[in-house]
C-alpha cells in the first residue's frame, strides 16, 4: 500500500477504503466466480507489468550479460551453495527448507487459497490448479529476483538513496520504473495498475 502513496500521491487511508469497496462490490455482485476471474485478470496485468519492467530494464543496462556480470562482481548471485552450516545466510539448504515451510503455510493455511482450491469441481482439478499456482509463483519470483538484479546493475555506481533521489529503501522500485519508463507513455500507468492488481 505504501507504493501507491509513493507512485500516486493519494492518501494511504483513502486508497485502502476505495480498494476495499471495489473488492466488496465485485464479490457481492459476482460471488466466487467474480473473484476467480478477477484473480486471473490481475495475474495477467501483474505479469505484463513485470515483463515490461524486465525488458525495459534489461535493455537499459546493456543486456543480460551485463546484468549477470555486475551481479557476480557485487556478490549478489549466490546459486547452489551446498554448505550445510545453518548459520550461513542463503545456502541452498536454508532457502529450500525455509521456502518449503513458508509456502506450505501460505498454501495450506491461507483461507483465500483454500477457497480457490475448494471452488473447483473435483480433486484432480484442484491438483491441476495447485500445479499451475506453483509454476506461476516460481516464474513470478524469478522475475522479481531478476528485476532486483537489474536495479542493482542500473544503480551500481549511484545509489538513489545515498544520492538523495529517494528517502526510503522501499521507494527504489517506483523510482526505477519512473526512471526507466519516463519516455514511454503509459508504462508507469501500467506499473500502477500492476500494483493495484496485486493488492486487490
Under the banding of pLDDT at 50, 70 and 90, the label for residue 7 is low
In this prediction, residue 52 carries a pLDDT of: 82
Number of neighbours of residue 52 by Cβ within 10 angstroms: 19
CB 166 within 8 A of CB 94: no
Indicate if the pLDDT at residue 17 is higher than 80: yes
Letter string b/e over residues 113-130, b meaning 16 or more CB atoms within 10 A of that residue's CB: eeebbeeeeeeeeeeebe
* Residue 189 in grid coordinates: 500507468
Indicate if the pLDDT at residue 155 is higher than 80: yes
Mean pLDDT, residues 23-41? 85
Mean pLDDT, residues 190-198? 73
Indicate if the pLDDT at residue 190 is higher than 80: no
d(Cα 198, Cα 190) in Å, to the nearest integer? 12
d(Cα 117, Cα 36) in Å, to the nearest integer? 11
Q: Which residue has the higher pLDDT, 131 or 140?
A: 131
Mean pLDDT, residues 32-38? 83
Indicate if the pLDDT at residue 71 is higher than 80: yes
**Selection from 15-24, 79-88, 153-162 with the highest mean pLDDT:** 153-162
In this prediction, residue 95 carries a pLDDT of: 86
In this prediction, residue 58 carries a pLDDT of: 92
Which of 17-31, 111-125, 185-199 has the weakest average pLDDT? 185-199
Rg of the chain over all Cα atoms, to the nearest angstrom:
19
d(Cα 132, Cα 45) in Å, to the nearest integer? 17
Q: State pTM to two decimals.
A: 0.77
Closest CA to 36 of 179, 132, 151: 132
d(Cα 39, Cα 62) in Å, to the nearest integer? 34
Indicate if the pLDDT at residue 65 is higher than 90: yes
In this prediction, residue 5 carries a pLDDT of: 63
Mean pLDDT of the chain: 84
Amino acid at each position: 500500500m505504501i507504493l501507491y502513496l509513493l507512485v500516486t500521491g493519494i492518501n494511504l487511508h483513502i486508497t485502502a477504503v476505495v480498494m476495499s469497496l471495489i473488492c466488496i462490490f465485485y464479490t457481492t455482485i459476482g460471488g466466487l466466480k467474480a473473484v476467480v476471474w478477477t484473480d486471473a485478470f490481475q495475474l495477467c496485468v501483474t505479469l505484463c507489468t513485470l515483463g515490461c519492467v524486465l525488458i525495459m530494464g534489461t535493455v537499459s543496462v546493456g543486456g543480460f550479460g551485463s546484468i549477470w556480470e555486475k551481479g557476480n562482481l557485487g556478490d549478489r548471485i549466490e546459486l547452489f551453495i551446498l554448505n550445510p552450516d545453518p548459520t550461513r545466510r542463503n545456502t541452498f539448504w536454508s532457502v529450500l527448507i525455509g521456502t518449503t515451510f513458508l509456502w506450505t503455510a501460505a498454501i495450506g493455511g491461507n483461507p483465500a487459497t483454500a477457497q480457490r482450491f475448494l471452488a473447483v469441481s473435483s480433486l484432480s482439478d484442484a491438483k491441476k490448479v495447485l500445479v499451475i499456482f506453483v509454476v506461476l509463483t516460481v516464474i513470478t519470483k524469478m522475475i522479481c529476483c531478476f528485476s532486483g538484479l537489474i536495479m542493482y546493475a542500473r544503480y551500481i555506481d549511484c545509489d538513489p538513496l545515498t544520492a538523495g533521489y529517494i528517502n526510503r529503501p522501499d521507494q527504489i522500485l517506483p523510482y526505477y520504473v519512473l526512471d526507466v519508463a519516463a519516455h514511454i507513455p503509459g508504462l508507469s500507468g501500467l506499473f500502477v495498475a500492476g500494483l493495484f492488481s496485486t493488492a486487490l
